[in-house]
Amino acid sequence: MELSIGSKDFLDSFQHIWEKNIDDYGTSKVNLFVLNINANNFDYSSLTRNLLDPLIDYSVSRKIKERFKGKPHTLTRTAQDKFKEYINNTGELGEFLLYCFLESHLEAPKILSKLELKTSTSMYVHGADGVHFLKLDNGNYQLIFGESKTIKGMTDALSAAFTSIYEFKNEINKDGKEKSGINYEKTLLHSNLDKEAFSDEERSFLENLIYPKKDRDFYVDDAFGIFIGYEIEINTEDMKLPNDQFRQKIISTISDDVSRRLGYIAKKIEEYKLFGHNFYIYVMPFSELDDNRRKILEEII
């Protein structure tokens, strides 16, 4: 099954600083991506430009894209309207960025996005931020459930993400108004496969991923994809540095800050007993998080 994203131009917006293991086995990883820097500022305009096409891939199903094939303006408007409705309900950018990273970097195809999974306005706040799958080198598969947090403090964002994952896995819903949790999400996922333009063979394969049959020739494990957006403060004196010195200092500072949280991530996995799950974590710093997140959303819709 192919990726839903049309191209990987999204990654051109970033420097991929590093990938580091969380555990001794290399099963869970943190990837640090930093926006390209232009004249001592993060280049948000490049990111915005490279989000326009993935917006369509994220917001509408393969079935809708097929229906409007040859009608690019209609397809774009349909995607923008659907995404705008979603943003009005959630105000969130992180789910969309997580989708882009999972598809373009991890190469884990989307099964259904959060927009397609949720059947009512109130359900936007519950459940996974989309579901992807990944084929491993050993021939087995993982179902990847998304979780994203964009919070000014990186530690706060990580804490909130792992708390959400713990509650999702253990089917804890503090509101008590809707069904929730990983098993309910699988039921929802299975019942909504018709929203995508899957062939009979693809549908059978996906059904076997969600509810493995005894005659399967592979194993399936639940995993999690996490996007963490946090705020980095850049002072005026640093802004005055020559471009090459600014890049070096900012990237070094960001790298050190994120590296210091690796132990904290391992601690949260231990605390919540989330052993056995692979974690694919993407970390991205923002300057003036609230303002720039708002501007990005305004420009792409």
In which region does residue 203 sit, left (phi positive, over 0), alpha (psi from -120 to 50) or beta (all else)? alpha
Predicted local distance difference test score (pLDDT) of residue 135: 97
Asked if the structure places residue 27 within a domain, the reply is no
Predicted local distance difference test score (pLDDT) of residue 121: 42
Q: What is the pTM of this model?
A: 0.94
DSSP 144: E
Predicted local distance difference test score (pLDDT) of residue 179: 59
Give the span between the Cα atoms of 295 and 165, in whole angstroms: 29
Predicted local distance difference test score (pLDDT) of residue 149: 96
Asked if the structure places residue 229 within a domain, the reply is yes
Asked if the structure places residue 77 within a domain, the reply is yes
Asked if the structure places residue 18 within a domain, the reply is no
Give the span between the Cα atoms of 14 and 17, in whole angstroms: 9
**What are the b/e assignments for 32-66, b being 16+ CB within 10 Å?**
bbbbeeeebebebebbbbbbebbbbbbbbbbebbe
Give the span between the Cα atoms of 87 and 136, in whole angstroms: 33
Q: What is the pLDDT along the chain (301 residues), one digit of tens a residue?
A: 889 999 999 999 999 999 999 999 999 999 999 999 999 999 999 999 999 999 999 998 888 888 898 898 999 999 999 888 877 765 579 999 999 999 999 999 999 887 776 644 444 445 788 899 999 999 999 999 999 999 999 999 999 999 999 999 998 876 655 557 899 889 988 888 877 768 888 889 999 999 988 888 999 999 999 999 999 999 999 999 999 999 999 999 999 999 999 999 999 999 999 999 999 999 999 999 999 999 999 999 8
Asked if the structure places residue 150 within a domain, the reply is yes
Asked if the structure places residue 26 within a domain, the reply is no
In which region does residue 14 sit, left (phi positive, over 0), alpha (psi from -120 to 50) or beta (all else)? beta
Amino acid at 164: S
Asked if the structure places residue 4 within a domain, the reply is no
Query: What is the total count of domains within the chain?
Result: 1
Predicted local distance difference test score (pLDDT) of residue 90: 58
Give the span between the Cα atoms of 232 and 153, in whole angstroms: 9
Asked if the structure places residue 166 within a domain, the reply is yes
Domain limits for position 151 = 34-300
Predicted local distance difference test score (pLDDT) of residue 92: 77
